[in-house]
Amino acid sequence: MQTDFMAWLRQHDNRAYELYEEHVNPAFVKMLKTIGFDKCYVRGEGPYLWDAAGQKYLDFLTGWGVFALGRNHPKVKAILKQLLDENLPNLVRMNCSPLSGLVAEKLTEHVGGGLTRVFFCNSGTESVEGAIKFARCATGRQDIIYCDHAFHGLTTGALAVNGADFFRERFGDLLPGTRKVPFNDLEPLERELSSKKAAAFILEPVQGKSCEVVKDGYLAEAQRLCRKFGTLLVLDEVQTGLGRTGKWFCYQHWDIEPDIVCVSKALSGGFVPVGAVVTRPKIMDAVFNSMERCVVHSNTFGQNDMAMGAALATLQVIEEDHLVENAAIMGEVLMDGLKKIGATCPFVSEVRGKGLMIGIDFDRPKDSFKLKAAWDMLHKLNFGVFGQMIVIPLMQKHRILTQVAGYHTEVIKFLPPMTIAQDDCDWFLRAMQDVLDDTQRVPGAAWDTVMGLAKATIRA
């Protein structure tokens, strides 16, 4: 065993990509190298990352929404250190620890309404699996209705309610009885619900892969229809939850009360994987309906002390540092700024989202012949690569980490930490103006890069 583990670890920094290529996922390494994202980060603090050369990066990806508090938040760290130092009787399993009860108490306080029970798990996809099982068990029905373009995770149950063929292809038959409806469209939803076969209707209030937001009035009507036809309304707040959209939970913008809420990502504080299914006692009691069935849905690591400590600390930091309020204020700063900048770029068709979950959608420009021709040429080679013309220079020229929203879409998405301050919003908006201006220089370096990338993708 190394006496100085960190010194030993640092010696291997330059082997990271080689090791990953050999033993983990060579295709991922190839992708990172192709777009020039093969950096060696050595430190993360708040909204920033630093590489080995000491260069500072602004993180607008936040580990896909995990680092809502920024990286290595000192209050969460302090609580985790105290827990580690205590030699706690972790995961005894045949006992009840106060930590999980305290997290459940605080979480349900913020969810509100009659959703007073929590099932703990280890990830977003596992919370969705739990929601599907609970809904089936509580209603005695099998079918699950989901939305086009939905993303709820990649285990087989959650994959069965994924709205993109790309993720499902080549993985065989998934859950039976899943039925897709268009997002934000009540008529087809009512048609599916009226069969009275659906246990649940599951949706994200802001879709992660498109940044489409539910229309005003949509959720209230969806809830009314679900109740009318005996279907449970499941809101997947894995990405939107815990303040990101400017309310503790996104559905609270519309004053409705779902039957089940899925939570994960930010709850971890960026430290320990955790997930939660929050629901009504009636639903939970239908699942765990006898002593014999008291762990009929369970997992080994759920409720472990470190996860619960991280979750409790995270909830406290969100409250004490007024991060929900900050997300609302800074979300407006970014949305307003991006809308103004977007209006100057003929490729931007829409800037949309809620709070600090913002997407930019790109489309073929309407006027300039030169820009239309460039767009067409790129799209003949590859659909969905245009976003890289923004993401790559944001990283290479401006040291801002972002990502396209999903495969085969023209949307790029921004998920800054909820702690973000005005200075960093300014850094980001200046950079966005610059990279969007560059898209209009044809021929130009930005187009050369993305054409090269499209050709490399075809060759691969």
Ligand X SMILES: Cc1ncc(COP(=O)(O)O)c(C=O)c1O
Q: Return the range that interacts with ligand X (CB under 6 A); candidates 27-35, 117-125, 286-294, 330-338.
A: 117-125
CB-based burial, 82-114: b 16+ in 10 Å, e otherwise: ebeeeebeeeeeeeebebbeebbebbbebbeee
**Residues 259-298, interacting with ligand X (CB under 6 A):** 264
Q: Which is nearer to ligand X, 254 or 427 (CB)?
A: 254
Q: Return the range that interacts with ligand X (CB under 6 A); candidates 235-243, 280-288, 313-321, 384-392.
A: 235-243
How many residues are recorded in the chain? 460
Q: Which is nearer to ligand X, 73 or 152 (CB)?
A: 152
Cα torsion for 221, 224, 229, 232, to the nearest 10°? 100
Residue 212 in tokens: 């489409």
Does 128 help bind ligand X (rule: CB under 6 A)? Answer: yes
Does 406 help bind ligand X (rule: CB under 6 A)? Answer: no
**Residues 137-196, interacting with ligand X (CB under 6 A):** 151-153
Size of the site for ligand X (CB under 6 A): 14
Does 238 help bind ligand X (rule: CB under 6 A)? Answer: yes
Half-sphere exposure of 149 (CA within 13 A, CB side): 20
Half-sphere exposure of 335 (CA within 13 A, CB side): 16
**Which residues are within 8 A (CB) of 127 and not within 5 positions of it... i.e. 6 or more apart?**
121, 236, 238, 262, 263, 264, 275, 276, 277
Does 124 help bind ligand X (rule: CB under 6 A)? Answer: yes
* Interacting residue with ligand X among 163, 205, 208, 302 (CB under 6 A): 208
Q: Which is nearer to ligand X, 130 or 208 (CB)?
A: 208
Q: Which is nearer to ligand X, 159 or 345 (CB)?
A: 159
Q: Which is nearer to ligand X, 117 or 152 (CB)?
A: 152
Q: Helix 422-438 to helix 445-459 angle, to the nearest 10 degrees?
A: 80
* Interacting residue with ligand X among 210, 239, 279, 409 (CB under 6 A): 239
Burial class, 300, CB count within 10 angstroms (exposed 0-12 / middle 13-18 / buried 19+)? exposed
Contact (Cβ atoms closer than 8 angstroms) between residue 232 and residue 200: yes
The CB-of-211 to ligand X minimum distance in angstroms stands at 12
Does 125 help bind ligand X (rule: CB under 6 A)? Answer: yes
Does 245 help bind ligand X (rule: CB under 6 A)? Answer: no
Burial class, 171, CB count within 10 angstroms (exposed 0-12 / middle 13-18 / buried 19+)? exposed
The CB-of-408 to ligand X minimum distance in angstroms stands at 17
* Interacting residue with ligand X among 236, 305, 361, 424 (CB under 6 A): 236
d(CA 222, CA 206): 15
Does 241 help bind ligand X (rule: CB under 6 A)? Answer: no
Does 59 help bind ligand X (rule: CB under 6 A)? Answer: no
Does 204 help bind ligand X (rule: CB under 6 A)? Answer: yes
Q: Which position has the token pair 């920024």?
A: 70
Contact (Cβ atoms closer than 8 angstroms) between residue 59 and residue 401: yes
Q: Return the range that interacts with ligand X (CB under 6 A); candidates 121-129, 173-181, 427-435, 441-449.
A: 121-129
Does 361 help bind ligand X (rule: CB under 6 A)? Answer: no
List phi, psi (to 5°) of 135.
-65, -40
Does 352 help bind ligand X (rule: CB under 6 A)? Answer: no
Q: Which residues pair with 206 in a beta bridge?
A: 213
Q: Which is nearer to ligand X, 308 or 435 (CB)?
A: 308
Q: Closest residue to ligand X, Cβ-based?
A: 124
Per-residue mark of binding to ligand X, 15-54 (x: CB under 6 A)? ----------------------------------------
Half-sphere exposure of 182 (CA within 13 A, CB side): 6
Instruction: For residue 10, give the DSSP letter.
Output: H
The CB-of-236 to ligand X minimum distance in angstroms stands at 5
Interface residues with ligand X (CB under 6 A) are 64, 123-125, 128, 151-153, 204, 208, 236, 238-239, 264
